[in-house]
Amino acid sequence: MCIRDDATAERFEDVTSLLRPRREDAPACWCLTYRLTSSENSALRGQDRPARLKQLCARDVAPGLLAYLDGEPVGWCALGPRTEMGRLQRSRTIPVVEELSVWSVVCFVVRAGFRRQGVARALLDGAVSYASECGAQVLETYPVDPDGARVSGSLAYVGTMSMFERANFRRVVQTSARSGGLPRWLVRRDLAPPPGQWTRQEPGEDSTTSG
């Protein structure tokens, strides 16, 4: 069974086990490329990158989700409010469709040996639930459409169209972004929290209520 948990600071060692490069001195994204502006991303190097992600994990709203199988971390999914994704906000290839409370899923990582076992789908289902709990109106993501072609494991981090369509995401627009030569689509799923469901606030949101 695959169990989903928020990526908190207490679970950062589990995050590290999935995202760190094989060589300690090798460059790695640490799932920050989409969150930072181009200049910030270029400036943040070495151990400053995992340190920045750990800071994000310490916030009330987690920057990602973890999947566990028999207690072992086997998968990661990065997500968050699109307004906090610096590269996405300024992207020339992935458009902003409309100004709603939109969350974006930007990355999946599944540990070798556990792929094609439903881990990514479990993380996606968890992302839908978590974004809804946090008050998002829409969850969007940007998968490739391989049209039957096999996708390289190094490029599968964006997900494939078929997985999202099975999870009731709808195609909105084909972007001009490509991954491995394959077109990427902007797909969305509308979210509605259950009646009476407590919703977490997005960072910076005013906590006052009128009445």
Is pLDDT above 60 for 202? no
pLDDT in tens, 32-69: 999 999 999 999 999 999 999 999 999 999 999 999 99
In this prediction, residues 172-185 reach a mean pLDDT of: 91
- Give the mean pLDDT of the chain: 87
The 8 Å CB, 24+ separation contacts for 143-146 are: 143/184, 143/185, 143/187, 144/178, 144/179, 144/180, 144/182, 144/183, 144/184, 144/185, 145/174, 145/182, 145/183, 145/184, 145/185, 146/182
Residue 3: the pLDDT is: 74
Task: Identify the CATH homologous superfamily for domain 2-190.
Answer: Gcn5-related N-acetyltransferase (GNAT) (3.40.630.30)
In this prediction, residues 88-108 reach a mean pLDDT of: 91
Residue 155: the pLDDT is: 65
In this prediction, residues 93-100 reach a mean pLDDT of: 86
